[in-house]
Amino acid sequence: MASVPLLIRIENATWRDLGELRNLESECFGQDAWPLLDLISVLTLPGIIRMKAVTAEGLMAGFIAGECHAGEKIGWITTIGVLRAYRSQRVGTRLLEECEQRMKLPRVRLCVRRDNLPALKLYDEAGYQRVNIWRAYYQDGQDAIVLEKVFRIEH
C-alpha cells in the first residue's frame, strides 16, 4: 500500500512556540539541548530566521533557526530538529531549503557532530561540503564538522 504523504506546512515561529520547542529540543538533542534562555533568545532576538514545520493538527514537528551575518555574507544554521515520529519524510530537507532561501546569502554554514550520520546524510544530499573541524566541540568531547553550501547567485 502506498504511504500517505505527510501534510506539513512551514511557518515562522514565535515566542508562543516556546513550550513545543522545549519538547522538541529535548527529544532531538538530549544532553546537548539548549538551555531555556537560549530557546527564548532564538525565538525573540532580531536577525534570526526561525521556522517551524507544522502538522495538519497544528503541532510542531520540526524547527530550524538561521543567523544572518550579512557583513560576512554568511548565514549560520544554528539548530535544526525534527521529532522522531516525522523523520525520514523530508521535513528536515524542507526546513533547510526554506531557511536557506530566506537568508538570501551566498554562503550558508552549520556544524554537526561527527557521529550524527542522519544529519550528515541530509546535509550531503542538500549540497553541503566540509570546510573545517572543531575538535572536542561538544560536551562529551565529540568533534564538530563545519559544513558549507555555496550559492552561485544571491538568492
Residues 6+ apart with CB under 8 A from 66: 48, 49, 75, 76, 77, 78, 99, 100, 102, 103, 108
Q: Look at residues 8, 103, 96, 95 and name the one whose alpha carbon lies nearest to residue 49.
A: 103
**Which residue in the set 8, 13, 21, 28 belongs to the binding site for ligand COA (CB under 6 A)?**
28
Closest to ligand COA by CB, 79 or 105: 79
User: To the nearest whole angstrom, how small is the minimum distance from the Cβ of residue 27 to ligand COA?
Assistant: 8
- Residue 102: CB partners within 8 Å, gap ≥ 6? 49, 51, 66
Q: Does 8 bind ligand COA (CB under 6 A)?
A: no
Under rule CB under 6 A, which residues in 53-112 are in contact with ligand COA? 80-82, 87-93, 112
- Count of residues in contact with ligand COA, rule CB under 6 A: 20
CB of 55 to ligand COA, least distance (A): 13
**Site residues (vs ligand COA, CB under 6 A):** 28-29, 80-82, 87-93, 112, 116-119, 121-122, 125
